[in-house]
Amino acid sequence: MYTLQKVKNNRLYKREFEVMGEFLILLKVEAVVKNIGYNFHLFYRDGKKPPLDIAINPNNLTIEYISFFLQDEHIKIKQNSPDIKFYNDRLCLFSDDLSIDNNSLNFIKAFEISLVKNDLIAIENGYKGEIFAYQVFDSNYILMNKENNIIGFDFKNISTIEMENLKDTKVI
């Protein structure tokens, strides 16, 4: 689906779990210094809530931010994580379908959200194939399959404050 290229990306990112109310929390990883102007967007919708939004900086094709609303879902507590191959490489994402005239792509996709130890993992519902994780920043990864389709994300090392925010919104 996407052309991937490993890049040296020294941008700094921050992760935030923003409580928006009972059963509603925004999970976000975003660049500290933001792109000025428009971004490309990959929207993964399930028809019930705002989508998983992956914004791509059109100037250098790196991820600008990842945002995902947990709404009316319960995170599943699991003992074992799926078999994920982690790469500390950062990526440029490119698709011939994105342009200044068509700056977003929409997909229908729902995700299962799991907490394994202190890692929050979102994987496409029913996905059973190989999983490859590429670093966005620090302990935040985008998950892809072998066809280079995005199938989720993995936010590792959830902090005590982030865990409290998840509990406060009653999604755990």
pLDDT for the residue 91? 82
CA torsion sign for 124, 125, 130, 133 is positive
Nearest to 119 by CA among 141, 146, 149: 141
Question: What single letter denotes the amino acid at residue 134?
Answer: Y
The verdict on pTM exceeding 0.85 is yes
For the record, the structure tokens of 77 come out as: 């507590």
- Helix%, strand%, coil% for the chain, nearest 5: 5, 50, 45
The torsion angles phi and psi of 161, rounded to 5 degrees, stand at: -65, -45
- Quick: pLDDT tens for 81-107: 899 999 988 888 888 899 889 999 999
Mean pLDDT of the chain: 90
pLDDT for the residue 47? 82
